[in-house]
Structures are given as structure tokens and as C-alpha cells.
Amino acid sequence: MRGSPTIGGREGSAPSRRVGLAGLAAEPRIAPRPPWGRLILAGSAVAAAALAAIPLVYLVVRVAGAESGAVADALLRARTAELAINTVGLVLAVAAGCLVLGVGTAWLLARTDLQARRLWIVLAALPLAIPSYVAAFGWVSLTPLRGFWGAFVVLTLCNAPMVTLPTLAALRQADLAQEDVARTLGRSRSRAFLEATWPQVRPAALAGVLLTALYVLSDFGAVALMRFEAFTWAIHAAYTSSFDPTLAAVMAVVLAVMGVALVAAERTMRGRQARFGSMVAARPASAPVRLGRWRMPALAALLAVAGVSLGVPLGSLLRYLGRGSGEGIAVAPLDVAADALTTVGLALAGALVALLLALPIGILAARWPSRLAAGAESASYVGLALPGIVVGLSLVYFSLQAVPALYQSVWILAFAYGVLFLPKAVGAVRASIERVEPGLEDVARTLGEGVAGTWARVTARIAWPGIGAGVLLVALTAMKELPATLLLRPTSTDTLATSLWRLTDISAYAAAAPYALVLTVVAAVPALLLTRDAVTGSTRAEGLQ
Amino acid sequence: MRFPARPVVATAAILSTLALAACSTGTEADEADGALVLYSGRSEDLVQPLIDQFEAASGIDVEVRYAGTTELAALLQEEGDATPADVFFSQDAGALGAVARAGLLAELPEGVTSAVEPGLTSTDGTWVGVTGRARVFVVDSQQVGVDEAPSTIHDLTDPSWAGQVGIAPTNASFQSFVTALRVLEGEDAAQRWLEDMIANDVQLYSNNTAILEAAQAGEIQVGLINHYYWYRLEAELGAEGMRAQLVFPAAGDPGSIVNVTGAGILAGAQDDPDALAFVEYLVSEDGQQYFVDATYEYPLVPGIAAPEGLPAVAELTNPDLDLSDLDTLAETTALLAEVGLL
Amino acid sequence: MSELQVRKVVAAYDSTPVLHGVSFTVASGTLAAVLGPSGSGKSTLLRVIAGLHRPLEGAIVSDGRVLSGPRVDVAPQHRRIGLVPQDAALFPHLDVRANVAFGLPRQERGGARADEMLALVGLSELADRMPGELSGGQRHRVALARALAPQPDMVLLDEPFSALDASLRGEVRAQVRQVLRRTRTTALLVTHDQDEALSMADQVVVLADGRLEQDGSPADLYERPRSAWLARFVGGAVTLRGTWRAGTVECALGTVPAELGIGQTASDGTTVEIVVRPEHLVLGDVAEAASRPAPGGRVRAMVRHVQYFGHDAVVWLDLPGLEEPVQARVLAGTRVWPDTEVSVGLQRPALAFAVPDSARG
């Protein structure tokens, strides 16, 4: 900056009083600097949201291309209403179930004097590793549970960790002094929790509930095995009896609308997201709640939940494994290993795609909240509400139109994972960056770092654990994905999930069991990594108190 | 806590790129070779050994994409002319009919279609029947005695079977059966039967296997499935392990039909000799014998014996029914949707 | 270190004007305090100087180098201006030494500079701690060391002591002042605390509503405020209405000697506002007052109550004709009891301001 122009002379310290805006005409007005960085960010966010909205665009094209009579017929028939009621009922029930189970578990693990908390946290997270279709298969083969309650139990147990983990993390960061104050003001323990602590953890818990609800909307495996007639069941039926794409598309649009409604509802209920200071002032650790005579019931409840959510699926897998394949299909360990590698590679690639798409949307939503940011964020959630087969077919359509050379390549499949599970990454990016105090970025700038350097040395470094958790979550979910994988995978490429499908399709359960088991074990790795946060405490400062 | 940010991201990026590159270069290389691309709606474990035989015999590389038959039909329709597939091997005639009507299948040479018994293949020569599969009742032998078993689908609307019958309305074979019912007894009768079944609390399953498992577990007393599922489970469990037993419907009953699997050549591969060679192999003696031995299905080429213990295919085929009429699947799905089964 | 010039800076947030043309100069190596009530625009001014907020008009010049101007906008990272924020804002993911080394060139981050800086602020032994393990005062000293480490031309301190409790505040202030003196750093301290501004700064700039009210030394500001509002804002004052009559004012205190404030004019018989510092009021015995005339005349007042502070006391007095009590600050040992009558006099001439101009505040 040596060559920058200088203003000679000293003006002295004579203060200029009451100089209005008009009084400064002599000084040329400074032209507003176009915020290039923010424009690029907004542009990328819009582009990412547009990519995420491909399935929706596809549906609109399909529905618009159909005769209006056919659309009206498909929409207005009594069956559509019946399926809608079934799906809404299931979504609400599972959301409520996960909320109660997740918040209850998180409270026990965060606030009480329970022993072996780490073990319980791990056990609470592990159901994430079990694909809902494997869990449903376990329940079908070991219990008489079917229909609504079957779907409810399986989906609730599989998805509860989506609520437990973020709630646990939020409970650890919550300011518990407020609860103490509420108690001194005459509230019972439970009322104090509801009035003082719950508002602080609500955003985290509701975000988990939203992901769960969207998942339930789009889940096919569990409802099919439980023979509960939800929307996805009917969409699959229409597609796989193939010859009525309009019916399928119309029903998928209804699902997408339900998804948007869920996102809107969560937005309203979330309220303002509290920003946590980067430097929570050192406060004395609040004494854990003594369980006393409730210790045994609490332990029994945790054990029962872990038992049914892990024991039933794994038990049935082990039973089939023990039964042996008889004269059925032999499973070569190398094949399983090869599939596992493919699965991991694809899931990681999908997670990276999701991260790339999520970064601009999440940063924009965290730093410059606006209608645009909210719109981009909402658009990113649509994919999760749609069944995998719809997303799969939409990407068949899209890739053949736009990038035919990449059709049936791993790149399109990885991209599909990215789109399908984008919300998990967007939520993680937004929440993590929201928690980085903007003042830290200012300080870094005054210490000589540019915008990019500040991002790399401060924002990204502080937000990374949260963002990394989101990436893990996407990878974890992508590993279990089946319908889109079947449609989009390169010819003769198998993942653990497709091999599992191939073998169960011909009832070779004994042969399928190793694949299911390996899938669960592989998926358990990211699930366990996700608990690191909860186990060690979410900031170093807190961990060392 | 401090994640080692860059190493983890970098490792993930490198790993996944390597994995993807490995996968994708493999595919590209195969495509460059001009390998035959087969979309198979039939399961890998049943079909792959046959394909291996074919590759060994012909020296042609076959690359197979396995998925559900009807998903592949939807996929083919979505892909249109851009499809990489050369041959479509379908689990049922309906999906082949739908793909053919979309103008996506090439006409087969006369020599191929005439190898199969007429009535068990396409009428316009766009696809050829490969194997036959009989629709049967599966009963839970512990709950249903031999003399109590139903002999016609019309028995199943009787209140005594309330809540005890399993069907798989999304399954293509079931839909073929409903099509046959429509053709044989008329639209009204078919609709009435479906509505009566619903009124009788019919149990819905996602596929034949699930029905068989349910009968084997005593969850239902009767199910409508294809015959070979039972044989396959018997091969796994042994005869003494079979609680579920097969009952063949009376001859002439709409429940007693033979569905066929079949194959067609995609329009883009019309002049591909490899594609034709594969389809010819399916209806050759070797190909047909493979299905008899490995999948317990009916051969469709005259002169090849059916699997042991099965009634002759002629006993099951319905003289009043022309298979080519079974491609009106759209009407069937519309009917199923209307009564509320889809 | 260098001189800072702020010239006619106009700034706004989302088209809400915040600064209306503020100009002042901070001499090299001195500490200037920007004092103002909350909402006066002082934090915006600081962000403008740091380059974190772009002004609409005006210029920022550091030692003749234009940082902000009509055609110039030096990015914050190139301004060589350090920042110590209100909450210290230590990077939570870095230990103390890495925090201090953050602004150093990459090859120097492992060197001795960070440790030197920590020694300077007296925290050498905490180099390996994480920020979460420090007390509030320690955090601010680390933040200061971090800001000083790259040898900036000047340092901005944004209400750095407001988060500390009172007992810690004085100590940390003294330490910070000492470090700044020792390193001869030009510094700008933003605060709403007049004690902080008066006790630490060489120069005090008072902002109100985005306008500069006064710029001068702490003594200037206290003794010669430019308005009654300023007098009340800085140091606390009793304001009374009265009638100007050639060097005296007739008011509730009787006829007292007075001087006109800087730039004020008044003709005989006009109403003025006078400002009296509480410590300039003298209290005495009623009987004594009658026998011995005191400067500025004497009136009688009722003692409403007394706040005792040890070294001195504040006496709340009801003067005849006033509804609100006035405060007098008296040395310890002055014997005054509530509900007794005392005589009240004035030690020094009061400052008088014309009424229309000083009706603000």
C-alpha cells in the first residue's frame, strides 16, 4: 500500500460539530463496493439449491406432460386421501415417538448421575447403523408385529438417534443456570426443564425430528416389509407396475408438498436459533440430577430400548447366519469385502458432493439470513421427502438430458446421494457456522488474514467438528440407500445394499445375512464417530472443566 | 475437541476419488470393448451361471444390470433411445409388452420366435418367451388339510378365509393373473372378485417370497404365488422343513395360468449379432435345460422335459386364454388402483 | 507508531445513518478514548477505522497513508490496525501461544515473538492453556498481546473491560495502560464508562448521536465541557436554571459567580443553565453562615439523606424552590445529618450555558 494516495496536512483537532450529511458535499461520496464475495456465495447457493431441486423439476415435467384429466383422477381418488392419511399418521406418530425417546434418552445421558454414560451413548447411537429394511426384516422374522404399529416401532427405533445425538449435544451446551433460577422461582424439576432448558435445546431436537419425519415420508423398505400402505408403497406400485408414471408422479408431488409443509412447520417451531458465544464463560458444572430410586427403572428403560433396537435386527441376522446356507448360495468373503469397499467409496463421494452443495447454502443461511437463503435451504430438503426411486428416475432423466456421458457412472450415483441427503449436510453446516462468533472473523481480519485465510484458519477450523459430523451422517445414510442405487449404479457394480437386495429378492436370507451384518458394521463406524462429540463434550473448554 | 480437519477431508476425497475412478474406468473399458449389455429383471443368482455358460460358449462378453423387472421397464422408458441396453430379459410378459408398445424393441427373426410354442410368446415377434411359471396356491399345511385347500380363486372370497389369504398386488405375476381374470371373466367379474377379496380382509405382501414366508410361518393359511419359489425354498430347507405346501388350482380356473419370462432386443441393437446370439441361446436346448435344472421353471421349447413333480404345462395352460392378451397391463393396474390395491 | 486522522466520516447501517461526519486526530503514541452513551455510534466508528465497515463518506488516514477514502478502501488485513474486542474473542480452537502468534507471518509463528508478547502482558506461564481455561482478565491480556504481536500501527480497544467485574477492571486497565505506554502504541479505546476514559486516556473524544461533542484532554473535558449535557455525561453535575447578570447567575443557590461556557453568549437578564460539580458545593453550619459570608453567597437547604462512602460522602439537599434534590460531595469528616438544615455555598464559579442550545440530554 506504499503507493496509495495521501492526504497532506493536518486538519488539527478542531471538532466539527453538527455536520449533517448535506454539509459534506465537498467530499466525493464513496461508491458502494459491490459485495462480490456475497454475490458469488448467493449464486452458488442458488445453483446448489437448483441441483437439489432436480427431482422436483422432473416431477413437474412429468405431471405437466400428462393429461389434466389423468392428474385430477389420480389426485382426487379416495385412495390418495387414504394413503395420505396413513402417511401423515405414521409421520406424526414416529416424529412424536422419536421426540419423546430421543429427548428422554438425551436427558438421562446428559443430566443424570447414570454410570457408564459412554457405553449408553454408543448404544443409543448404534441403531443409526441399521438400515430400516434390515430392522424391519428382523422384526418381521422374529415378532408378529405388522402394519401401522410395526412400521411405527421400526422407524421410531431406527430414527431416534437422529434426535438423541443433537439433543444431547445441545443439552451439554445449554445454560443450566436458567433451570436453577426457574427452580428457585418455584418450578418443579420437570417444569423448570420445560420452561428454561427445553427452549435452549428445542432447535436441535426439532431439526432431528424434521430429518426423521422427512425420512419416514420417503421410506419404502420398512413400510413395505411391514405391509403398511403408505404413499411410498403406492408410488412404488405405480412405478413398478411401470406403466403409470403419471400416477406415480402425482403421488410423489403430494409427498413433496408434505415435505415442504414439514420444513415450514419446523421453521415456525424452531424459533430464533440461539447463537452460542465462542467463549462460554467458565461456569461451575451443574450437579447432575441424582436418580436415586429411579436408577433401576432408568437403566431398565435404556436397556430395553437398546435391546429391541439393536437386538431384534442383529438377532435375526445371526439366526440366519447360524442356519447356514444349506445348499443355497455360498458367500465369498472377498465379494463381501469388495462390495464393502464400493459402498464406502460411493458413500464418501456422496458425502463430499453433499458437503460441496451444502457449503454455500449453509454459509448463506448462517451469515446472511434472507428469503433467498431460506428458500435455498428449504429447496435442499425436498430430496429427503421423496422416495429414492423418484430421485433415481429424475436423475436418469436429468443425466441423459444434461450429461449423457456420465449416465450410469459412479459420478451420477454419488451426485444422487449428495442430493438425497443434502439436508443433513446443510443443517450441520448452518448450525456449525452459526456458532462461530463473527467477532472472531473480524479479529482475524485485523490480524492480517484475508477472507479466504480467515475462513480456513478460523471459521472452518471451529465449525469443522459440526460440519464433519454432518458429512459422516450423509455417508452413513448413503451406505444404506437402496432404490436410487439400484437405478443409477454403473452396470455390474454392487454395493452391500444392492447385494442384500439381490439375495433377499430370491429369499436367500442366509446368504444375505453376511452382507447385512457387514453393512451394519461398516455403517457403525461413522455412527460411532458421531458419538465422539457427545462422549467427549463438544468444546475443549467444557471438556476440561 | 479438535478434529484433524484437513487430513480427514483429504483422505476421504482421495479414497472416494480412487474408488470411483476404479469403478468408472472399469465400466468405460467394458463399453469400449462393445460388450453386450443386458438388463436383467431376473435375479443374478439364477441367471448369472447361464450367462457364464453363454460367455464361455460364444466368447461374447456380457455385462448385466440386475434390478426389478418393472423398475427396468420404467428405466427403459425413461432412457428411451439413449439406453445403453442391448437386450432386456424380463420376468414377465407384461413388462416386455409395455416396452414393446413404447416402440423400444426390435422385431426378432422368425427363426427365434418360432422355436417356442405359440401362445407362450409374443404375437408380434418383438420378444420371445423363455420359461414358464405356474400360478399356484401355497397353503400352510398345519392349518389347512389337503381336502380343505381351495381349488379355485373363487373359493377365497368365502368368509371362512377372511384375513387368511395373502396376495402381492404390486407383483407382476399377480397382475398377469388379474389380467387373465379380466380377459376370461370380464371386467366386472374381475373387479367384483378383487372387491370381495378386500372385503374378506385379504392380506397384502410386497412379493411372492414374503407370501411364502408368511405361509411357512403360519401367518396366513393361503397365498397366491408362482410355483418355483416353493421349490427353491425346499432346496434350501429340505422337504421335511416345508410347512408350506403347493396346491395347483383346478384346470381352467383363472388362477391356473402360466406366466412366461421372456427376452427382447432393444431397437438400438437391432443389428447387433451378439444380442441375437444371446436371445437365441436362451431358447436353445442348453439354455432351456439350465432353467429346468436350476430354477424349476417350465421350458417353453418343445421336446425339453419339465422339472420333476410338476404337472405338465399343457394341463395348466388355459385353452381360452391367449397370452398376447395379457399385455393390457395398464387396464389391470388402473383396476387395481381403482379398487385400492395400488 | 503513528498518528491517526479521522476526517468527516459518515457511515450508515442499512441506510440508517449512524455517524454524521466525525473528525478528530490521535497523536502518535497516545491513547485516545472515544466516549459515548450506547447507540452513539462509537462501535461503528471503530469498525470503520478497522476497515470492517465501509463509510459512505470521509477518510481514515494513518501517518499520511490513506486507509479509507473516496477511491481507497484498504482491506482490514492490510491496515496494520489491531483489534481487542469486547469479549476478547480468543480463537477457541487455538492455545494461548497460537492465539498470540495468529497474526505473525507463517515462518515466525513458531518463533519467540509470541512468548515475548506473553511476557509483556505477564502471562508467560499460561502459553499452553486453551482460552476456555483462562479468567476474564487473562483473556483480555492475551487478546492485547495478540493484537500487538504483529507490531501494528495502532490498536483499537472495543469496550475491553466492560465484561470484567469491578474489582478486576481497575487492575486490568492499569496493566493494559502500562503495556501500551511501554510499547509506545497509538491506541483508540471505545467505552461508555467515563471513569475509564478519564483515567486512562490522553485524549477523550465524546460522541453523541453520531456527532462529535467534544475532543480534548480529560481535564479539559471535565473542567470546560462544551455543553450542559456533556457536563452531566462526564463526571456528573447539578444543573440549575437561573438569570444571567454580568458574571453572576441568580438561581436556587442564591447569586453565584459564573463563567460562560466556550462559545456561549448571554446578555443580562436572559435565562441560562448553570452546571455545578457536586464537589464544588460547600456545606456549613447555619449559624456560622449568617455571621461569615462565603463565596457565591449562601442559602439554606434541608438534608434529605446522606450516602457515606468512607473517603467522602454524597449529601442530597432540598433547596428552596426546587422539586428535585441536588447532590453535594463532601469530604469525610463533614458532619451532616438528615433532616437538619445546612448552609450551601459554591467554591468556584459555575459554568453557564444558553438554554435553547443545551436543553438536550
- Is C5's CB within 8 Å of A10's CB? yes
Which burial class, exposed, middle or buried, applies to A382 when counting CB atoms under 10 A from its CB (0-12, 13-18, 19+)? buried
What is the reported pLDDT for A18? 38
pLDDT at B237 over 80: yes
Together in a domain, B249 and B140: yes
CATH code of the domain containing A444: 1.10.3720.10
C-alpha cell read off for C148: 500487538
Quick one: cell of B134? 405356474
Do B196 and B265 lie in one domain? The reply is: no
Same-domain status, B193 and B299: no
pLDDT given for residue C60 in this prediction: 92
What SS3 state is found at B299?
A: strand
Mutate to test the interface with C, among A436, A441, A443 (most CBs of C within 10 A): A443
Contact A21 C20 (CB under 8 A): yes
Count the residues in chain C: 361
Tell me, what's the pLDDT at A8? Answer: 36
The Cα–Cα gap between C223 and C246 comes to 21
Nearest residue, CB atoms, A29 vs list C57, C86, C132: C57
CA closest to A532 among chain B residues = B1
Reported as a pLDDT band with limits 50, 70 and 90, residue A287 is low
Per the model's pLDDT, the better-predicted residue between B236 and A365 turns out to be A365
CATH number at residue C273: 2.40.50.140
Last residue of a domain, one of C190, C223, C256: C223
Q: Is the pLDDT of residue C196 over 60?
A: yes
In angstroms, the CA B304 to CA B326 distance is 25
Check residue B128 and give its pLDDT.
Answer: 93
What is the grid cell recorded at B49?
451361471
Q: How confident is the model at residue A14 (pLDDT cuts 50, 70, 90)?
A: very low
CA B264 to chain A, closest CA, distance in angstroms equals 17
Q: CB–CB of C155/C82 below 8 Å?
A: yes
d(CA C287, CA A187): 61
Specify whether B193 is located in the same domain as B204.
Answer: yes
Closest CA to C256 of C328, C321, C349: C349
A13's enclosing H/E stretch is: none
Length of chain B: 342
Q: In chain A, what is the straight-line distance between the N-terminal and C-terminal CA atoms, in Å?
A: 46
Average pLDDT on C182-195 reads: 89
Round to the nearest angstrom and report the end-to-end CA distance of chain C.
37
CA distance A403 to C286: 101
Chains touching chain A at 3 or more Cβ pairs under 8 angstroms?
Answer: B, C
pLDDT at C291: 58
Does C12 contact A at CB distance below 8 Å?
no
Residues of chain A with Cβ-Cβ distance to C55 below 8 Å are 30
pLDDT value at residue C34: 93
Chain C contact partners (≥3 CB pairs within 8 A) = A
pLDDT band at C288 (very low <50, low <70, confident <90, very high): low
Alpha carbon of residue A5 to chain centroid: 52
Residue C198 sits in the same domain as residue C281: no
What CA–CA distance (Å, rounded) separates A90 from A232? 12
Which residue, C192, C223, C254, sits at the end of a domain? C223
**Contact residues, chain C, for A11 at CB < 8 Å:** 5, 7, 23, 25
3-state SS, chain C, equals CCCEEEEEEEEEECCEEEEEEEEEEECCCCEEEEECCCCCCHHHHHHHHHCCCCCCEEEEEECCEEEEECCEECCHHHCCEEEECCCCCCCCCCCHHHHHHCCCCHHHCCCCHHHHHHHHCCCHHHCCCCHHHCCHHHHHHHHHHHHHCCCCCEEEEECCCCCCCHHHHHHHHHHHHHHHHHCCCEEEEEECCHHHHHHHCCEEEEEECCEEEEEECHHHHHHCCCCHHHHHHCCCCEEEEEEEECCEEEECCEEEEEEECCCCCCCCCCEEEEEECHHHEEEECHHHHHHCCCCCCCEEEEEEEEEECCCEEEEEEECCCCCCCEEEEEECCCCCCCCCEEEEEECCCEEEEECHHHCCC
Residues C251, C219 share a domain: no
Residue-range definition of the domain harbouring residue C325: 230-358
* Size (chain A), residues: 545
C positions 136-195 inside 8 Å of A (CB): 136, 139, 143, 146-147, 150, 152, 156
pLDDT at C359: 47
Q: Does A535 touch chain B (CB under 8 A)?
A: no
Give tens-digit pLDDT for C14-49: 778 889 989 999 999 899 999 988 888 888 999 899
Chains A, B: CB contacts under 8 A, how many? 200
Q: Using CA atoms, how far apart are residues B36 and A535, in angstroms rounded to an integer? A: 53
C211 vs A contacts (CB less than 8 Å): 17-19
Residue C164 shares a structural domain with residue C270: no
Q: Which of A352, A398, A485, A492 to mutate to test the interface with B (most CBs of B within 10 A)?
A: A492
Among A292-306, B71-85, C281-295, whose mean pLDDT is lowest? C281-295
**pLDDT value for B253:** 86
Residue of B nearest to A534 (CA): B1
Q: Which whole number is the average pLDDT over B299-321?
A: 78
A335 lies in some domain:
yes
For residues B328 and B338, give the distance between their C-alpha atoms in angstroms, rounded to a whole number: 16
Q: Who among B20, B22, B175 is closest to A241 (CB)?
A: B175
Between positions 229 and 258 of A, the ones with CB within 8 A of B are: 229, 233-234, 236-245, 247
Structural domain count of chain C: 2
Same domain, B333 and B208: yes
C299-308 and C248-251 beta bridge pairing: unpaired
| B64 DSSP 8-state letter | E
Measured distance CA(C298)–CA(B39) in Å, rounded: 111
Query: How many angstroms separate the first and last alpha carbons of chain B?
Result: 51
Same structural domain, B207 and B335: yes
Q: Is B48 in the A-facing interface, judged by CB distances under 8 Å? A: no
Q: Within this chain, do residues B143 and B214 fall inside the same structural domain, yes or no?
A: yes
How confident is the model over A366-382, as a mean pLDDT?
A: 84
Q: Is B11 on the interface with A (CB under 8 A)?
A: no
In the predicted model, is pLDDT for residue B338 greater than 80?
A: no
Backbone angles phi, psi at C102, to 5 degrees: -55, -45
Whether the CB-CB separation of A467 and A293 falls below 8 Å is answered with no
Say what the pTM is.
0.76
For residue C231, the model assigns a pLDDT of: 85
Where does the pLDDT of residue A276 fall: very low under 50, low under 70, confident under 90, or very high at 90 and above? very low
Calpha distance A497→B93 (Å, rounded): 28
pLDDT (0 to 100) of residue A158? 93
The residue among A2, A18, A21, A30 with the most chain C CBs within 10 A of its CB, best to mutate, is: A30
CA distance B29 to A115: 57
- Residue range A493-518, pLDDT digits in tens: 889 988 888 887 766 777 888 888 89
Residues 6 or more apart whose Cβ sits within 8 Å of residue B108 = B125, B126, B127, B128, B264, B265, B276, B279
Same domain, B138 and B107: no
The confidence band for A401, taking pLDDT boundaries of 50, 70 and 90, is confident
Cell numbers representing residue B185 in the block: 371373466
| Touching subunits for chain B (3+ Cβ pairs under 8 A) | A
Q: Counting Cβ atoms within 10 Å, is residue C226 exposed (0-12), middle (13-18) or buried (19+)?
A: buried
What residue in A sits closest to C77 (Cα-Cα)?
A448
Q: Is B74 within the bounds of a domain?
A: yes
Distance CA B64, CA A322 (A): 31
Same domain, C211 and C321: no
- The reported pLDDT for the residue numbered B130 is 92
B242 with B283, same domain: the answer is no
- Report the mean per-residue pLDDT for chain C: 85
If contacts are CB pairs under 8 Å, which of residues 194-253 in chain C contact chain A?
Answer: 211-216
For residues C186 and C329, membership in a common domain is answered with no
Of C223, C245, C260, the one marking the end of a domain is C223
Residues B148 and B174 placed together within one structural domain of the fold: yes
CA nearest A520: which of A340, A302, A323? A340
Q: Which residues contact C324 (CB under 8 A, 6 or more apart)?
A: none
What are the CA-CA distances from residue A215 to residues A211, A307, A343, A424 (Å)?
6, 23, 20, 11
DSSP letters spanning A303-358: HHHHIIIIIHHHHHHHHHHHH--TTS----HHHHHHHHHHHHHHHHHHHHHHHHHH
pLDDT computed for residue B3 by the predictor: 39
Does B195 score more than 90 pLDDT?
A: yes
| Interval A513-529: pLDDT, tens | 888 889 999 988 888 88
What is the span of the domain harbouring residue B178?
Answer: 133-257+329-339
Q: Looking at the structure, do residues B199 and B308 belong to the same domain, yes or no? A: no
Beta-carbon contacts of residue C266 (< 8 Å; ≥ 6 apart): C244, C260, C272, C352, C354
Q: What is the pLDDT of residue C220?
A: 87
- Give the pLDDT of residue C232: 83
Confidence of residue A354 (pLDDT cuts 50, 70, 90): very high
> Is B9 part of a structural domain of the chain?
no
**pLDDT-based confidence at B22, cuts 50/70/90?**
low
DSSP A163: H
Which residues of chain C neighbour A544 with C-beta distances below 8 Å?
130, 132-133
Asked whether C129 and C99 are in contact (CB, 8 A), the reply is no
pLDDT grade, residue A543 (50/70/90)?
very low
Quickly tell me which residue has 459491490 as its cell.
Answer: A34
Contacts of B210 in chain A (CB under 8 A): 225
Q: What is the CATH number of the domain that holds B216?
A: 3.40.190.10
**CB proximity B10 to A under 8 Å:** no
For A124-135, the DSSP string reads: HHGGGGS-HHHH
Domain for residue A20, yes or no?
no
- By residue range, what is the domain housing residue A499? 44-273+294-538
Number of structural domains in chain B: 2
Q: Whose CA is closest to C276, among C299, C300, C304, C257? A: C257
Residues C147 and C94 occupy one common structural domain: yes
Tell me the average pLDDT across B240-264: 87
- What would the pLDDT profile of A168-212 be if each residue is shown by its tens digit? 888 887 777 777 777 777 777 788 888 878 888 888 899 899 989
Secondary structure (3-state) at B266: strand
Instruction: Assess whether B115 and B262 both reside in one domain.
Output: yes
Q: Can you read off the three cell numbers belonging to residue C165?
A: 467485574
Supply the pLDDT for residue A545: 24
